[in-house]
């Protein structure tokens, strides 16, 4: 078996993958990992999207707007509603994701405009330790979600609201563990 003029063993060695492992991935016996896709794409001089059209199903755990109190999803549950996330999005982001920690929130109205449009699906990674400047989801002390832009200042955090109708929050740095980072937006 060969791929674009390569035989499996030379391709595997050039990509730094065990040949039997590559063979199993090519036959569909084993799932591809992002690093493996990147390595093979590099050797073949193609984009990852040229190798696969795989889609990851990310559960939609709720709807969010600037004014309603939305409960934090607790754990990511497979409730039947999903948004499709192309594997290419993950691969091109240059970040390592824990795929089982991704969830989606649906923007249900125009209360975040012009920053977020109605119907946008926010792809969120649950992991407060990796939250950084940018868009985050914050779970307050009573389990309600807030969406905002995160800024660091000394030993405090500023969660700037995306809506003029909501107040900004100044929080101690320890609240970082209660934040999930928004890693992307999808429009369907």
Q: CA quadruple 50, 93, 35, 13: dihedral positive or negative?
A: positive
Cα separations in angstroms, 121 against 48, 86, 183 = 23, 13, 11
> For 14-49, what is each residue's pLDDT tens digit?
989 998 888 877 776 776 766 787 788 788 877 666
Helix (H) or strand (E) holding 92: helix 87-92
> For 47-87, what is each residue's pLDDT tens digit?
666 666 666 778 888 889 888 888 877 665 555 677 777 66
Q: What is the CA angle 151-95-121, rounded to 5?
A: 70
Q: CB-based contacts of 88: which residues, under 8 Å, 6+ apart?
A: 47, 48, 49
Q: Are 70 and 140 in contact (CB under 8 A)?
A: no
On whether the pTM is more than 0.85, the answer is: no
Topology annotation, domain 2-51: 434 Repressor (Amino-terminal Domain) (1.10.260)
**Which CATH superfamily does the domain covering 55-186 fall into?**
Umud Fragment, subunit A (2.10.109.10)
Domain ranges of the chain: 2-51, 55-186
Q: How many residues does the chain have?
A: 188
Burial 62-74 (b: 16+ CB within 10 A, else e): bebbbeeebebbe
């Amino acid at each position: 078996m060969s791929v674009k003029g390569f035989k499996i063993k030379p391709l595997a060695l050039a990509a730094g993958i065990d040949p039997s492992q590559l063979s199993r991935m090519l036959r569909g016996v084993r799932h591809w990992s992002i690093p493996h896709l990147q390595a093979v794409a590099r050797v073949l001089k193609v984009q990852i999207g040229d190798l696969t059209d795989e889609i990851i199903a990310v559960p939609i755990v709720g709807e969010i707007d600037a004014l309603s109190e939305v409960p934090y999803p607790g754990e990511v549950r497979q409730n039947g509603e999903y948004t499709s996330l192309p594997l290419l999005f993950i691969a091109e982001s240059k970040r390592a994701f824990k795929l089982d920690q991704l969830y989606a929130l649906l923007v249900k109205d125009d209360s975040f405009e012009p920053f977020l449009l109605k119907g946008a699906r926010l792809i969120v990674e649950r992991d407060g330790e990796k939250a950084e400047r940018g868009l985050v989801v914050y779970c307050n002390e009573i389990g309600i979600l807030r969406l905002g832009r995160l800024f660091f200042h000394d030993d405090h955090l500023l969660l700037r609201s995306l809506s003029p109708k909501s107040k900004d929050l100044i929080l101690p740095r320890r609240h970082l563990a209660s934040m999930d980072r928004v890693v992307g937006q999808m429009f369907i």
